């Protein structure tokens, strides 16, 4: 029978058997999946695990600090933080195609993990065990939608599945590969992770890189970060965090429209709000947010974020739209 206790016990035993005395690293993204995967592997192999947080410059406002604090406080795990903004942004320069962006981000993640691996090995010296394993928070829907399941077409390369380079040298540990999101949350709860982690809304590994339609640049990321922070602030203030599954905020960087602000003409970019409700992200419906909340978000974004002169609402379900725009 399926119980979270059984799932935890079986996974822990399987991870121990697979990893043995070797070491593993786990990329933390700030999302619930990587946090639960890390906590599960930590339960199995303890200090043989080091978590790596890659600050790729594609995170939301305040997120890096939050990952560093929340997760370490909850688990006491070893954490290595890698500053890699320049590396990711220069790799993404000039690229607008969504799949190409995903592949580049997946590749750079692996290169950073390889570097972290080399550093850990060097630190441990000759007597240290090899860092052979890479832990990923891949879920069942990620496997299916990346074409790794049976009979389903490839929809997009999730960075932790289809987006990996071919020459990867790590052995992968993916303890959540058979689970859906709600099951992952239950496992997280069973492992004693705090509510702020267990109930965190999903956030994709490629981050804001796939929420800018068009080329990803530092300036655009900064605009999107501001707009996103406002939307999240207002949704939280309205008490809606648990009612919606997630609300991507998307910058249409290649689109401009004419507006009027103060007594001047503007020619700025639109921001898209994409609030959805869902059970498992395989299908979703657009959330019927209260008009007054939408209105506050719109007013604040256009007032407070330079170059944004329009806020639009995505009212498409999945299918036919996916949750993210890329």
Binding residues vs ligand XMP (CB under 6 A): 145, 156, 158-160, 202, 204-206, 246, 281, 318, 322-324
CB of 76 to ligand XMP, least distance (A): 24
Rounded CA separation 279/313 (Å): 21
Nearer of residues 156 and 185 to ligand XMP, judged by Cβ: 156
Give the E-state strand segments of the chain in sequence order: 23-28, 49-55, 78-83, 131-135, 171-173, 212-213, 249-252, 257-261, 264-273, 276-277, 285-286, 308-313
Question: Contact 266/258 with Cβ under 8 angstroms?
Answer: yes
> Which CB atom, from 111 or from 318, has the smaller least distance to ligand XMP?
318
- Closest separation between CB of residue 29 and ligand XMP, Å? 6
Nearest to 187 by CA among 71, 306, 35, 75: 35
For ligand XMP, the closer of residues 226 and 324 by Cβ is 324
Q: Between 121 and 316, whose beta carbon lies closer to ligand XMP?
A: 316
Write down the least CB distance from residue 65 to ligand XMP, Å. 20
Least distance from C-beta 34 to ligand XMP, angstroms? 8
Distance between CA atoms of 41 and 250, rounded to whole angstroms? 34
* Pick 120 or 186: Cβ nearer ligand XMP: 186
**Residues linked to residue 249 through DSSP beta bridges, in sequence order:** 273
Are 116 and 170 spatial neighbours (Cβ–Cβ below 8 Å)? no
120 vs 142 by CB, closer to ligand XMP = 142
Give the whole-angstrom CA distance, residue 283 versus residue 318. 5
Task: Give the nearer residue to ligand XMP in terms of CB position, either 145 or 226.
Answer: 145
Structure-block tokens of residue 266: 């503007």
Smaller CB distance to ligand XMP: residue 259 or 316?
316
CB of 255 vs ligand XMP, minimal distance in Å: 20
d(CA 209, CA 104): 10
CB of 156 to ligand XMP, least distance (A): 6
Least distance to ligand XMP, CB of residue 273, Å: 14
3-state secondary structure of 78: strand
307 in the Ramachandran plot: left (φ > 0), alpha (ψ -120 to 50) or beta?
left
Contact 303, 293 (CB under 8 A): no
Cβ atoms 304, 226 nearer than 8 A: yes
Least distance between ligand XMP and beta carbon 67 (Å): 14
């Amino acid at each position: 029978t399926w119980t979270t206790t059984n799932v935890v016990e079986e996974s822990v035993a399987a991870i121990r058997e697979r990893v043995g005395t070797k070491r593993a690293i786990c990329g933390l993204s700030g999302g619930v999946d990587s946090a639960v995967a890390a906590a599960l592997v930590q339960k199995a192999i303890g200090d043989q695990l080091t978590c790596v947080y890659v600050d790729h410059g594609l995170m939301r406002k305040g997120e890096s600090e939050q990952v560093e604090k929340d997760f370490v406080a909850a688990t006491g795990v070893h954490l290595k933080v890698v500053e890699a903004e320049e590396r990711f942004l220069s790799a993404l320069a000039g690229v607008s195609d969504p799949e190409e962006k995903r592949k580049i981000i997946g590749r750079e993640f692996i290169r950073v993990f390889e570097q972290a691996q080399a550093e850990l090995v060097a630190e441990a010296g000759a007597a240290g065990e090899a860092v052979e394993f890479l832990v990923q928070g891949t879920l069942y829907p990620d496997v299916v939608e990346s074409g790794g399941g049976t009979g389903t077409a490839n929809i997009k390369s999730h960075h932790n599945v289809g987006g990996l380079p071919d020459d990867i040298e790590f052995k992968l540990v993916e303890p959540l590969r058979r689970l859906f999101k709600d099951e992952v949350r239950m496992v997280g709860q069973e492992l004693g992770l705090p509510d702020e982690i267990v109930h965190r809304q999903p956030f994709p590994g490629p981050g804001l890189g796939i929420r800018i339609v068009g080329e990803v640049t530092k300036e655009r990321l900064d605009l999107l970060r501001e707009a996103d922070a406002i939307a999240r602030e207002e949704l939280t203030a309205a008490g809606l965090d648990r009612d919606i599954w997630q609300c991507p905020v998307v910058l249409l960087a290649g689109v401009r429209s004419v507006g009027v602000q103060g007594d001047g003409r503007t020619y700025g970019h639109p921001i898209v709000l994409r609030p959805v409700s869902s059970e498992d992200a395989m299908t979703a419906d657009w959330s019927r947010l209260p008009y007054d909340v939408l209105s506050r978000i719109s007013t604040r974004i256009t007032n407070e974020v330079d170059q944004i002169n329009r806020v639009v609402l995505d009212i498409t379900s999945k299918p036919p739209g996916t949750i993210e725009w890329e």
